[in-house]
Structure 1
Amino acid sequence: MNASRSKGRAAVLACSTMVMTCTASYAQGSAAAGDEGAARIEGLQQQLSEQARQIEILKKAVADQEARQRELQRSLGQQDARPATGPTEGAQTAPNQNAGSEPDNTQRSVRVGVAPSDESQQPPVVAPLFEQPGILTPKGKFVLEPSVQYVYSSSNRVALVGYTIIPALLIGLIDVREVKRNTITGALTTRYGVNNRFELEARLPYVYRSDATISREIFTGSASDAVFNSSGKSIGDIELAARYQLTDGGANKPYVVGSLRFKTRTGKDPFEVVTDCVTRCVGNTTGTGLPLDLPTGSGFYSLQPGVTWLFASDPAVFFGGISYTYNFKRSGISRQVLNGEQEFIGDVEPGGIFGINFGMGLALNDKSALSIGVDLNSIGRTRQNGAPVPGSVRTQLATMLLGYSYRYSDKTTFSITVGAGLTRDTPDLTMSIRIPMTF
């Protein structure tokens, strides 16, 4: 009986031992499985964090790329004035609006027919070549533009004083003159944007002129050339202008701007300066007949209506313009001569000026632009007392222009223009520097 009890106790002890062993083994397996799951979850979390970081980097890269693209389009004039057409535009602007948030793959509904902003309706910016700028001043902005222009021209004149018996035989003298002209004009131009389509302009010039005339005095027996120098400096003719944008350009249509310019005669006109007319005037045979002081103005009021256009065609911008300058007639004019005397001239009406220009601009990068163009002007004959002045003919002027501009900042731009005369009546060299500053 005791033996039976001992066997029973041994069996119970063995069963208990087996149960404890199984429980320990199960606990160890569960702990191992838990550690493996936690490690896997931690790895997934790290992977998600890395993917989220990469998504943020991609968002930032896309936003920077779009910002550079908009800046390049602004410099090239590729901002087309057209309404939004669907979800694509909303998708393009999403990176800038939702930077730092979770990506949204759903399409955004955009109202079709939204009017473009006023900035997108502005003409493209090109390196300026001509007097009239192509881009208008934004609403409420003020532009101050100091500029300096240098003009050099030379001309030769041959006058036959006498008469000819046969074409090969001249009885008299030959008067040959060579004239060198240098003109420096410093100007301060201001422009104000009344609204995004209309601007006003005022220009105040200061002119310095220097002429050197090389000639040999006739009837004096001189065997050498003489040089007669004259100069003049004063305020030039103040100009007032207004420009209005007529059309909104786009992908397939140009920007058109109408302008009206009025030129005063605040400068010293040719009839106010004293002329060396003691020894060479009508009826006299020797002397210079040249003004002792050079004028700094034209002496006539003028009005110039015009139209300019710009057409953006990637990667270039084409531009041009047409204008007509009407000079108002002056009556009862007399010119000043030495000793306080005056020579009566009468009524004088300068000929009108028909002008046309065209060119092409190319953006080199987001800060620099290069332009090339041609400026043509046809000047009509001057009339005195209702009849054309003897010897006055229609004059053709043509200038080839090359311009470069550099955008120093969002408010300041440096521009330089160099021109070469294409006809004998056109100045040989023209060079100007402009620094428009926006406030």
Structure 2
Amino acid sequence: MAVASAFAATAFVPAAAAQEAARPADEADLRELTEQLAELKASYAQEVRRLRELDMQVQALQARLTGKVPAQGAAAAAAAASTAAAPVSSAPTAAPASTTSAQPPAPSQAGYASTAAEAEEARKDIPRSVADVKQATRTLFDQRLVIENGLSYNRYDRKQLTLNGFLALDAIFLGNIAIENVESDTLNYNFATRWGVTPRLTLNLDVPYLARKTVYQKGGAGGAAGAIAQEETTGSGLGDVTFSTNYLMIPEKPGRPETVLNFGITAPTGREPYGIPWTVLERDDDDFIRFAVPDEQPTGSGAWQTSIGVSVVKTSDPAILYGNIGYTYSFESSFDDIDNNPDTINPGDVKLGDSFYFGAGVAFAFNESTSFSMSLSNRMSARAKTRYDGMPWTKVIGSDANSALFNLGVTYALSENATVVGLLGIGLTPDAPDFTLGFRVPYSL
């Protein structure tokens, strides 16, 4: 055992000596690599600052050529860029990280980031065109107050063939063939305000004013199939005012969309369609009313309504994907007359059909100020119900509807605070308007 111990001690001494001899060489290599890394970091920071300086100078000259800023402003911007970049070139190479962090990040002016902090700021900075799309979909929460003026036009044209008679020998129709046509034009001015209470909560108020004109045409006037009777009525006034709120439930992350909860209440401030006097234009010999029209057009539904829904938005440069889904509930309302017969007055209750709506679309940001969107929206409404005083509820046949629209939209930034939004809607179902055309101008304060 003594011999073995002596042999082990003898073997250990050369190994330890070898390690002690190699340590200075490793330390020298570490110092050399550290110095090279520091030099590369310093050179990288200087190149980034130089790129940023050139980028700011190019932007200043472009603004000068386009007339957005005067020549003095462009020169001042270029000088500021040179001054901001100067300390980097004279900074010691031993502290490149502190020199880089001393300059405030500007991800909106350059398409790159020199540090992790600048990369995070770049992700938080939303391009103007993306912000305009999110504002149109009620999913933008970084604005304190927005005042919006909107104007839209709806065209509705529906024809219906009416057969008043019977079939003889299962082939020959005996009686009157009449064509009923209803053409409606609606001009809607909407004043809206959006108030950002917190970075997650927005309150909205929409106040519409409507002007409507409806033309009624009925064939077979006077018993002649070729005769057509026509009458038009108009109506204008305040529409149904809506108060709504948007709450940001889940912010957008790289792997998930932004999710917003929407809740709204609509008050029946417009002229309800019940109790409007009717004018009789034609009666049969047995006093049956063949053609009658209302004296004026309504501007509201006449019932309180509440809605709840969810909206999602996901940005994937250059596309912005969005969608929504929701449900609207209508409360029962009582009226002095719910019968459209001009000769009778029947008070009662009305329960409009609840509706379910959904939509989806995609927008493309062409540049910093312009975007183009395509979307599909659909609203399905159940049948309405009426109840005369002392009578049971009865469903109104034909009151259910399925209204689908294909929408094309363009947003353009007019200035730093103002944006114009154009929208064209094309009706896809008989219950939808033939087309809608609208413009909105939101202004941020």
The one-character-per-residue Cα deviations of 1:100-132 (angstroms, maximum 9, x if unpaired) are 313345343789999x78x939894254797x5
Q: 1:378 to 1:261 in 2, by over 3 A?
A: same
* Structure 1 counterpart of 2:208, one-letter code: P
| Aligned equivalent of 1:313 | 316
| Aligned equivalent of 1:186 | 189
Mapped to 2, the partners of 1:129 and 1:397 lie a distance apart of 24
User: So what's the TM-score if we normalise by structure 1?
Assistant: 0.71
* Structure 2 counterpart of 1:134, one-letter code: T
Bigger Cα displacement from structure 2, 313-322 vs 327-336: 327-336
Quick check: 2:138–2:246 contact (8 Å CA) kept in 1? no
2:254 counterpart SS class? coil
Q: Name structure 2 gaps, 5 residues minimum.
A: 1-45, 61-80, 102-114
Q: 1:383 to 1:336 in 2, by over 3 A?
A: closer
Query: Displacement, 1:166?
Result: 5.4
Q: 1:55 to 1:126 in 2, by over 3 A?
A: closer
Percent identity at matched positions?
23
2:53 counterpart SS class? helix
| Aligned equivalent of 2:273 | 270
Query: Displacement, 1:96?
Result: 10
Q: How many residues were matched structurally? A: 355
1:102 counterpart SS class? helix
* Structure 2 counterpart of 1:227, one-letter code: Q
| Aligned equivalent of 2:329 | 326
Mapped to 1, the partners of 2:329 and 2:264 lie a distance apart of 11
Mapped to 2, the partners of 1:358 and 1:337 lie a distance apart of 38
Q: 1:97 to 1:267 in 2, by over 3 A?
A: farther
Q: Which has the larger radius of gyration?
A: 1
Query: Displacement, 1:387?
Result: 4.1
User: So what's the TM-score if we normalise by structure 2?
Assistant: 0.70
Aligned positions of 1:407-418 closer than 5 A? 407-418=413-424
Quick check: 1:202–1:240 contact (8 Å CA) kept in 2? yes
Query: Displacement, 1:354?
Result: 0.4
Q: 1:97 to 1:202 in 2, by over 3 A?
A: farther
Mapped to 2, the partners of 1:241 and 1:217 lie a distance apart of 48
Aligned positions of 1:39-438 closer than 5 A? 58-62=51-55, 98-103=84-89, 104=91, 105=93, 106-108=95-97, 120=124, 124-127=130-133, 132-136=137-141, 138=143, 141-164=144-167, 167-221=170-224, 223-277=226-280, 284-335=287-338, 343-344=345-346, 346-385=348-387, 387-392=393-398, 394-438=400-444
Q: 1:98 to 1:241 in 2, by over 3 A?
A: same
Quick check: 2:264–2:307 contact (8 Å CA) kept in 1? yes
1:435 counterpart SS class? strand
Q: 1:337 to 1:311 in 2, by over 3 A?
A: closer
Quick check: 1:218–1:286 contact (8 Å CA) kept in 2? no
Q: 1:390 to 1:246 in 2, by over 3 A?
A: closer
Query: Displacement, 1:213?
Result: 1.4
Quick check: 2:221–2:228 contact (8 Å CA) kept in 1? no
1:101 counterpart SS class? helix
Task: Name the structure, 1 or 2, with higher relative contact order (CA <8 Å, separation 6+).
Answer: 1
Query: Displacement, 1:219?
Result: 4.6
The one-character-per-residue Cα deviations of 1:127-182 (angstroms, maximum 9, x if unpaired) are 4797x5232352xx211101100000100112333444554344433332111110
Query: Displacement, 1:394?
Result: 3.4
Mapped to 1, the partners of 2:322 and 2:58 lie a distance apart of 29
Query: Displacement, 1:65?
Result: 8.6
Bigger Cα displacement from structure 2, 169-178 vs 95-104: 95-104
Mapped to 1, the partners of 2:312 and 2:339 lie a distance apart of 44
* Structure 1 counterpart of 2:427, one-letter code: G
Query: Displacement, 1:359?
Result: 0.3
Q: 1:136 to 1:248 in 2, by over 3 A?
A: same
2:314 counterpart SS class? strand
Mapped to 2, the partners of 1:159 and 1:238 lie a distance apart of 37
1:297 counterpart SS class? coil
Q: 1:235 to 1:97 in 2, by over 3 A?
A: farther
Moved runs in structure 1, 4+ residues, more than 6 A? 53-56, 64-67, 109-114, 336-339
Mapped to 1, the partners of 2:203 and 2:116 lie a distance apart of 35
Quick check: 1:129–1:401 contact (8 Å CA) kept in 2? no
1:288 counterpart SS class? strand
The one-character-per-residue Cα deviations of 1:277-321 (angstroms, maximum 9, x if unpaired) are 58569x953442221100111111111111111011122010010
Quick check: 1:122–1:196 contact (8 Å CA) kept in 2? no
